[in-house]
Amino acid sequence: MTGIFFFFLCRVVLVLMNLFASGIGIHHGSLIFYSFLMGLRFDTVISCYILAIPFPFLLFSWMFPIGFVISIKISRILILTGYLLSFFICWVDIPYYNFFHSRLNSVVFNWFHDPGFVFRMIFSEWTFWIFIIPFLIYAVCFIMISRKYHNLFFSKKPVSISRNLLIDVPVILLIGSLIFLGIRGRIKKKSPIRTGTAYFCEVPFLNHLGLNPAFTLVSSGLEDLKDRSRPVKLIPEQEAVVTAEKYLGIRPDSLGKSEFSRSILYDGSPRKLNVILILMEGMSEYFRGKHGGPENLTPVLDSLTKQSLNFENIFSSGIHTYNGIYSTLFSYPALLKQHPMLKIPSRQYEGMPLSLKRNGYRTMFFIAHDDQFDNTGGFLIANGFDRIYSQKDYPGEKILSTLGVPDDYLYEFSITVFNGYHRSGQPFFAGFMTASNHDPIIIPEWADFKPNSNDKKEMIIEYCDWSLGKFIKLCSREPWYGSTIFVITADHGSGYPWVYEMPLTYHHIPLIIHAPGLNIKPESLKNPGGQIDIFPTIMGLLNISYSNNTFGTDLLSETRPFIFFTADDKIGCADKDYFFIHLMGGSEYLYRYNFPGSGNVITDFREKADSMKRYAFSMLQAAQWKIKNELQ
């Protein structure tokens, strides 16, 4: 019962931290109560797993009294270890949930290919210690309580242990049966309790609240072990390929075969313009006043919107930085939990860096921190980049944390590099992945920046916007400014606020194409699109013919019916009005997201939901097929 109570306290903290951000209030009292009852079930499951491990040792002590003391000590150590590890997971889950709006799951193991970087980043953030301290208090209290129980019941070694088989055997069978039933979490159902069991209402936070993060972490990890490559298995491959090709306008050759590629041909000469692609860390459209977000935090982005091509309904492919880099550069979707850059395929991706390199461009990518994190540097070099600039290239005094240099210096550093390439006479393609809008949040003292907000999260958004403005201003003084296309977007958005099972604000991101040297009329376009469409759109602006074997379309000449995206174990699909969600556990939702409060309308618009589901499933499954067959 002590372990159950400690789990309960963690759930209380999670509720208090999300009481307003999650859209719940006192009027949801009965639903909150039900979430806690659901949580009791999942906490019991974890407790029974912990108790199941020492059960054989306790059984051994009954069968062989001579080993009683040793068995009891081993059992106590195992129980303590199990609970303390579970409590640690629960406390780590709280900041994880506040950031990703998902309980801790196996996707975190994707980051542990470089554990040193991860731990340095975590321990340098002061908010981490806020949650470590309660865990340490938990650990001390639990150990003391455990010792008290141990002294109360097992302080003395019994001289003899009398065994009455008529009583002891039924008791042992009863205890074993209770542990087994506790692990299953269900009595009448064929399958044991699953993550989807916790979903009982239309308020995402309340569905998540009942889950125990130790359960979600272990269960998702065990699910991954069934197939370590975790391929997407949504619909039959051939059906997906045919459907995706139809949507993308790909025609088979004369033999009826296709490698999922179409030739894009343009009349006239290519425009040898430089391309600067900026992926701003966590820059959601929410921070630009959308979805009820704060106003006037991004005056630079707002100003650029009025003098550029502005795409209003653009969505990130996933919720992780590696998803954003991968999808923007190579026009491939995020395939649920897969980490696309950990393995380098034998065949290069025909994305933006390689296509531009083949057309005489010098290619480079700027990363604020260590380029080995997420295997970013190695993957990009293997797929068309000539040079990666990262933490190893910056002066030590400019590196302020594990996340490297702040935005304004990252931009400033690049100017000298660009000037060198300009003098060589070659056009260049440069990508940026900023990091300032990520914990630990640090605004450099050297920056001539004065925020308007007193809120730390808003201050860093203002700083990132200010840094971008400073960069554009510095570029405008250089001779190559008029012959450069600036593409400004984000790796992903932010999860605040969120009212759906997938926070839409985590995917809704800006896309601004600022081309001072092109005679393009400023315009706001409302058709849906995504990161996967940036590559074809830029190739169209450059008037460069190429082979497009990606999942992207030119947003200036083609129209998508929908855009699709994923969040680890969730699939989303959107157009200008509707937002379809498919949870891998089987639940589905359809929302009219431009009409807040309309609720789940999937019953009324089943045909619409089915068409969006078919579109998303086909694209994702076709992408998995291409990657498996290395048809990049």
Of 502, 530, 468, nearest to 330 (Cα)? 530
Q: Are residues 315 and 430 in the same domain?
A: yes
Q: Is pLDDT of 321 > 90?
A: yes
Contact 265, 545 (CB under 8 A): yes
Q: Are residues 157 and 244 in the same domain?
A: no
Q: Are residues 114 and 178 in the same domain?
A: yes
Mean pLDDT of 279-286: 95
The answer to the question of residue 505 being in a domain is: yes
Domain boundary among 225, 247, 269: 225
Split at pLDDT 50, 70, 90, the class of 206 is confident
Q: Are residues 159 and 257 in the same domain?
A: no
Strand, coil or helix: 571: strand
The answer to the question of residue 543 being in a domain is: no
Residue 160: predicted pLDDT: 47
**158-162, 225-229, 365-369, 624-628 — most confident range:** 365-369
State the Cα–Cα distance between residues 10 and 21, nearest whole angstrom. Answer: 18
Percent of the chain whose pLDDT exceeds 70: 89
State the Cα–Cα distance between residues 547 and 123, nearest whole angstrom. Answer: 46
Q: Are residues 186 and 291 in the same domain?
A: no
Of 21, 568, 569, 627, nearest to 320 (Cα)? 568
Q: Are strands 512-514 and 387-389 parallel, antiparallel or unpaired?
A: unpaired
The answer to the question of residue 544 being in a domain is: no
Q: Is pLDDT of 411 > 90?
A: yes
Biggest distance spanned by C-alpha atoms of the chain? 98
Domain boundary among 172, 194, 225: 225
The answer to the question of residue 410 being in a domain is: yes
Of 588, 620, 598, 611, nearest to 501 (Cα)? 588
Split at pLDDT 50, 70, 90, the class of 159 is very low
Split at pLDDT 50, 70, 90, the class of 36 is very high
Residue 255: predicted pLDDT: 46
Residue 106: predicted pLDDT: 82
Residue 606: predicted pLDDT: 96
State the Cα–Cα distance between residues 616 and 564, nearest whole angstrom. Answer: 5
The answer to the question of residue 33 being in a domain is: yes
Which residue, chain included where needed, has tokens 């499933």? 617
The answer to the question of residue 541 being in a domain is: no
pTM across the whole model: 0.85
Residue 226: predicted pLDDT: 63
- Tell me which DSSP letter residue 373 carries: G
Mean pLDDT of 321-329: 97
What is the average pLDDT value for the chain, to the nearest integer?
A: 87
Residue 254: predicted pLDDT: 45
Q: Are residues 437 and 460 in the same domain?
A: yes
Domain boundary among 225, 252, 275: 225
Residue 325: CATH number of its domain: 3.40.720.10
pLDDT tens digits for range 117-142: 777 766 676 667 788 888 888 889 88
pLDDT tens digits for range 218-257: 888 877 776 555 789 999 999 999 999 999 988 765 444 5
From the number of C-beta atoms within 10 Å of its C-beta (0-12, 13-18, 19+), residue 295 rates as exposed
Q: Are residues 211 and 268 in the same domain?
A: no
The answer to the question of residue 232 being in a domain is: no
**116-120, 335-339, 497-501 — most confident range:** 335-339
Q: Are residues 161 and 196 in the same domain?
A: yes
Which residue, chain included where needed, has tokens 């159902």? 189
Q: Are residues 206 and 91 in the same domain?
A: yes
Mean pLDDT of 277-301: 92
The answer to the question of residue 540 being in a domain is: no
Answer whether the bond into residue 440 is a cis peptide, omega within 30°: yes
Residue 421: predicted pLDDT: 93
Residue 198: predicted pLDDT: 83
What's the token pair of residue 486? 């600036």
Q: Which residues of 199-213 are buried (b: 16+ CB within 10 A; e: fewer)?
A: beeebbbbbbbbbbb
Q: Are residues 328 and 401 in the same domain?
A: yes
Q: Are residues 446 and 569 in the same domain?
A: yes
DSSP symbols for 257-320: ---S-EEE--SS-----EEEEEEETT--GGGGTGGGPPSSS-HHHHHHHTTSEEESSEE-S-SS
Residue 399: predicted pLDDT: 92
pLDDT tens digits for range 365-399: 999 998 888 888 888 998 999 999 999 999 999 99
State the Cα–Cα distance between residues 167 and 174, nearest whole angstrom. Answer: 11
Q: Are residues 166 and 17 in the same domain?
A: yes
Split at pLDDT 50, 70, 90, the class of 566 is very high
Q: Is pLDDT of 190 > 60?
A: no
Mean pLDDT is lowest, of 20-24, 157-161, 494-498, for 157-161
Of 460, 544, 82, 18, nearest to 272 (Cα)? 544
Which stretch of DSSP H or E encloses residue 334?
none
Mean pLDDT of 15-27: 71
Ramachandran assignment for 512, one of left (phi > 0), alpha (psi -120 to 50 degrees), beta (any other): beta
State the Cα–Cα distance between residues 159 and 265, nearest whole angstrom. Answer: 91
Which residue, chain included where needed, has tokens 């699939």? 571
pLDDT tens digits for range 435-453: 999 988 899 999 899 999 9
Total structural domains within the chain: 2
| Cα-to-chain-centroid distance, residue 358 | 32
The sheet with strand 563-566 has its strands ordered as 563-566, 570-574, 578-583, 588-592
More confidently predicted of 6 and 222: 6
Q: Is pLDDT of 616 > 90?
A: yes
Q: Which residue range is the domain that position 53 belongs to?
A: 2-225
Identity of the amino acid at 586? G
